Chains A and B, each alone.
Chain A
C-alpha cells in the first residue's frame, strides 16, 4: 500500500484503543471514589472515542463521491516485532468506520441500560465492558493479522468475565462454553495466520502479517483450502453459523443485559467482518468451491434458527435464536459474491445490531422487573406497561422484516442478490420470512397480549403492577427505533460508505488467479471435503 492511496495518517487510530483500555482501568479503580464514578468514566471515555472516530470521516468529500475516492481514510503503521514482520498496522475505511460507530454507540447504550442492573463490582464490570469495546475496535481496525488476532483475544476474555460474573443462573456453564468455542476456533485461525506468514516468508523472503502483503500471496490450492477453512470456521463460530451456533443461545441467555447487547449487536459482527475483510480477498481461488455450500448453510440457518426461536419458552433464548436466523442472511449474502447481496449483508449487520440489541434490552428490563424470562409467566403486558409493550412490538416487527425498517432493506438486498446465484438457497431463506412472522408474533402474543398472570397482582390493592419503561430506557428505545426507520427509508448513505470496501473485496475475490476447475475439484475431494 502506498501513501498516496491513503487519505490521512493518524496516530489517533492506535490511541483510541489505548484510550478505551486506560478508561477501563480508570473505571475499575474509580469505584472506591464514588459508586457512579465507573459509569461516568465509561460513558465519557466512549463519547471521546466516538468523537475521535467521527473525526476520521473525510469531511471534504461529499458522501456520494466516496466511491471514487480512496478506500482507506486513515492509517497508522509502526513496527512492533520487526523480527517476524509484525506491525502495529491500523487502517479505517467506510465499512470499518460504520462498524466502529455501531460499536461505540452500543457501548454507550450498554452503560446507560445497566445503570441500575449492575450493583455488584461495578468498577470491574465497566472495566470489562470497555476492554471488550476496545478489543472490538481493534478487530475492526487492525490490518496486521497478528495484531488482529491479539485483539480477537482481548475482546474474548473480558466478555467471558461479563458472562461468568454478572450472568444469570447458569452463567458458569455458558461462559465456559462461549470461551471454549471461541478459543478453539481462534486456535484454528492462529494456525492459519502463522501458515500465511510462513508462506510469505517462503515466497518473499521475510515474515509478514501485513494484510496488504498477504493479499499478494500465491497459495497452492490444497493448502489454501485448509488455511481458508481455519479462518472461515473461526468466523462462522463467531457469526454464528450452523452448526457452530450452539454456544450462542447459552451465552446470550445467561449474560447480563449489557453482555447480550454487546454480543448480539457487535461481537457477532466481527465474524462477518472477518469473512468480508480477510477470507474473501485472501483466498479467491477457494471461494468459488465453498461458496455454494456456505450459502446453503446460511439459508438453512435462517430456517433452523427461526424454528428453534419459535420453540423456546425462555424469552431471552428466543431472541438469541433469532440472531442465528438473521445471521444466516449475512452468510448467504456475503457468499453470493455480488454487490447487492453483500451490501444487504452489511445492512443486516446494522439493522440486526439495533433491532436485536433493543429486544435484549427489553428482555433484560423485563427480567429486572419480574425476575423471570419464562414466557409462560408473562402476558397482557400491554395493559400494564404500554410503552414497554409498544417498544417490544416495534422491535419484534422490525425483526420479522417489515418494509420501511432497516431489516427489510437488508433481507431484500441479500435475497435479490443471491437469487441469480443460487435460487434454491434463496427460496429456502425466503421461507424464513414467514417463520420470522410466526416467532415474532407468537412472542408478542405471549408477552404483550391476553390476560395478565395472577402473580403480578400486587397484594395491597388487588391491582396488577409492572413498572413501565423508565425515561432512560424510553429514550434508548426511541433512538434505536428512529435508527431503524432511518435505515429502512434512507439506506443509501450506508451503501455509499461501505461501497469502496465492498467493491474492493469483490474484485479481489472474483478475479481469482486462474485455476483449473477439474484439478481443483479433485484436490478438494482429496482433502476429504
Chain B
C-alpha cells in the first residue's frame, strides 16, 4: 500500500488538470473535483492503516525523481512518511474532502464552479506536497504552491477589486516570510551541504554547536517563513483580509490546513529548534503575544468571518506557544482538533451567510437558533471546542499546551498569557453565538441550504467532540523531545481548575453583555464601535495595517513614483543635451559668410601670435 504514496498528491493534481483542460458539466465537475480528493482520502486511510500496523517508529521514503544534481548539490523530489506526515496528510485529505463535499453545495449558484474546484484540487495537491516532501526544497514547492492557490482563491471573485487587493496582500506578506525562509535554506545548505530534511536533522547535531548564534539564525529564518504562512506576529495582517474568498476556502485554507503549515514546519524541524533555546523562547513569546492580540481583536469585530479569522490567528498562537515550550505533540494535536472545529465553524458560518442572503454582519442577525438549528448546533459544538470547554476535542489539546507552559517555570507569563487568551476565546466565541442565534429574531426570510452541505457539518460536529480521543502516532517523531522532559505532564489540581474555569469566565462575561443586557451592549457596539478611539484600535487589529502602510507601503510607493522615469537615464539624457548644446554653439559659428571666417581667422591668428610672443 505504501508504494502508492505518490498517488496521494497526484490524484488531486490530476483532478485539477482535468478541470483545467476541458469545460465539464456541473455533475462531472463534482465527480472530478470532489471525487479526486475523496479517492485521495480513501488511499490515505488505507496508508494510515498500514502505517499503524507498522508501528509509530516506522518511516517510509519514496524518491520520485532526481531534480538537480550539480557537484555537491543533490536535490531529489521524494516523499517522506512518518508519524507527523501521516497525521498531516490525514487532516489535509480528510477535512479537505469534507470541505470539498460541502463546497459542491455552497458554490452551486456560482458561474465559475469549475474554476473553483480546479483551484481547490490544486491546493490540496500542493498542501500534500508540503507535508510529504522529503527535502526542504520540495516542501518549499508545496509551500509556495499553497500560497499561490490561496492567492487565486482569495481573489476568486475577481470582479471586485478589493478581493484581488486582499489576495495580493496575502501573497506578498507571506512572501516576505518565505524569503526569510529561503535564505534560511541557503544558510542550512551552506552549513550542512544538504537540504534533505532527514539528513539535516541527523547532521545538525554534529555540525552546529547547541545554542550557537549560527543555529539561532537558521531557526529564526525558518521561523520567519512560519510566521508568514501561519499569520503570526508580525506578519499576521493578511489573514483577516483573506476572508474575501469564498467561505469554504476560508475553512480549508485559512483555518484547517495552509495556515498551520508554519506549525508543521517548526515541528518538522524541531531537532534544529531544540538546539537553540533562545529561539524556542522567541517562538513561545510570538505565540503568546499573537494569541492575546488576536483574541482581543476578535472581541470587537462585527463581521462573522473576521471574528473567526482572528480566532484562527489566536489559536495558531496557542500552537506556537506549545512549540516554543517544546510541547510538540500537543501543538500538532491542537492543530488537528483545530482543523476539525474551525472548519466546522467556518462552514457553519458559510451556511449562515448563505441563509442570510450573503449578510456577514452579526449585528444584522439574531434569533437564528430556531430558524437554523443545524447551524446553531454546529456553532455551539464548534465554539465549545474552540473555547476548550470540557469534554470537547479542543479541551484535550489546549489543556496539553497549557500544562506544558505551566512547567516552563522560567517564564511564568507564558502560562498566564495562555490563560488570559482562554478567557478571550470563551468571550468572543459566545459573544458571536449570543448575538447571532439568541435574542429577537430579524424579519428576514431564511434561505434553505443545499443538502450537499449538511453531511460535512454533521461529521465535523462529531469529530469536534470526539477528536480529542484520537491517539496520534507522533511518539516516533518527537521521541527526542519526550525523552528530554518528564512525561507525563499534568497540572496541579488547583491550576487545572483555573484552566478549566478560564473559558467559562469569558463565556459568562459574554452572556452578561450580550444575552442578558443584549440591547444596550449591541447598540453600544454599533454606535461606539467606530467613534471610540480604543474600540477603533481593537477593531482595526491594533493598527498593524496602518503601521505597515505608513512604514513600508507608502515609502515604497513614493520612492517608486519619484523614480518612475529612472534617474540613471537622466545622466545619459544629460550627456545628450550637452552634446546637443555644443552642437548648437558650433553651428552658430558656421554662418557661411566669407567675411566672418576671415575675421575669425585673423582674430585667431592674432591671439595665437600674442600668446606665442608673450611666451618668449
Contacts and interface: CB of A to CB of B under 8 A. Distances in A.
Interface of A: 177, 242-243, 245-246, 249, 307-308, 310-312, 339-340, 343, 380, 382-383, 397, 402-404, 409, 412-413, 415-416, 419-420, 426-427, 430-431, 433-434, 437-438, 441-442, 445, 448-451, 489-492, 495
A433 B158 contact: no
A311 B561 CA distance: 6
Interface residues of B, number: 49
10 contacts: A177-B572, A242-B568, A307-B560, A404-B145, A416-B73, A426-B183, A441-B172, A449-B158, A450-B158, A451-B161
Interface string B563-586: 110101101100000000000000
B268 interface: no
Contacts of A308: 560, 563-564, 566
Q: Which of B71, B190, B566 gathers most chain A CB within 10 Å?
A: B566
A347 to B, nearest CB: 10
Interface stretch (B3-11, B62-70, B429-437): B62-70
B564 A403 contact: no
Interface stretch (B44-52, B136-144, B242-250, B355-363): B136-144
Contacts of A340: 70-71, 73
B28 interface: no
A88 to B, nearest CB: 35
Interface in B131-185: 137, 140-141, 143-145, 148, 151, 155, 158-161, 164-165, 167-168, 171-172, 175-176, 178-179, 182-183, 185
Nearest to B77: A489
A430 B71 contact: no
Interface in B493-518: none
B391 interface: no
A390 B137 CA distance: 27
A343 B70 contact: yes
A382 B155 CA distance: 12
Interface of B: 65-71, 73, 137, 140-141, 143-145, 148, 151, 155, 158-161, 164-165, 167-168, 171-172, 175-176, 178-179, 182-183, 185-187, 189-190, 556, 559-561, 563-564, 566, 568-569, 571-572
Chain B interface helix/strand/loop/mixed: helix
A402 B144 contact: yes
A415 B181 CA distance: 13
A22 to B, nearest CB: 38
B179 A430 contact: yes
A490 B65 contact: yes
A310 B143 CA distance: 25
B161 A449 contact: yes
Contacts of B185: 416
A404 B133 CA distance: 14
A409 B165 contact: no
A311 to B, nearest CB: 4
- Per CB-CB distance, the 4 closest pairs between chain A and chain B, nearest first, are A311-B560, A403-B141, A450-B161, A246-B569
B165 A445 contact: yes
A190 B362 CA distance: 75
B159 A451 contact: yes
B159 A383 contact: yes
Given A449-B161, A450-B161, 6 more contacts: A246-B569, A308-B560, A308-B566, A311-B561, A445-B165, A451-B159
Residue of A416, A433, A450 contacting most chain B CB atoms (<10 Å): A416
A415 B145 CA distance: 20
Contact of B568 (A245, A430, A441): A245
Contact of A441 (B66, B144, B171, B186): B171
A444 to B, nearest CB: 8
B182 A402 contact: no
A250 to B, nearest CB: 8
Given A382-B158, A416-B186, A449-B161, A434 B176 contact: yes
Contacts of B143: 403
A491 B67 contact: yes
Nearest to B180: A430
A380 B164 CA distance: 11
B417 to A, nearest CB: 31
A489 B129 CA distance: 14
A382 B158 CA distance: 8
Contacts of A249: 566
A449 B186 CA distance: 36
A433 B167 CA distance: 17
B259 to A, nearest CB: 19
B43 to A, nearest CB: 23
Contact of A449 (B69, B155, B563, B564): B155
Given A308-B563, A402-B148, A445 B175 contact: no
B168 A307 contact: no
B161 A419 contact: no
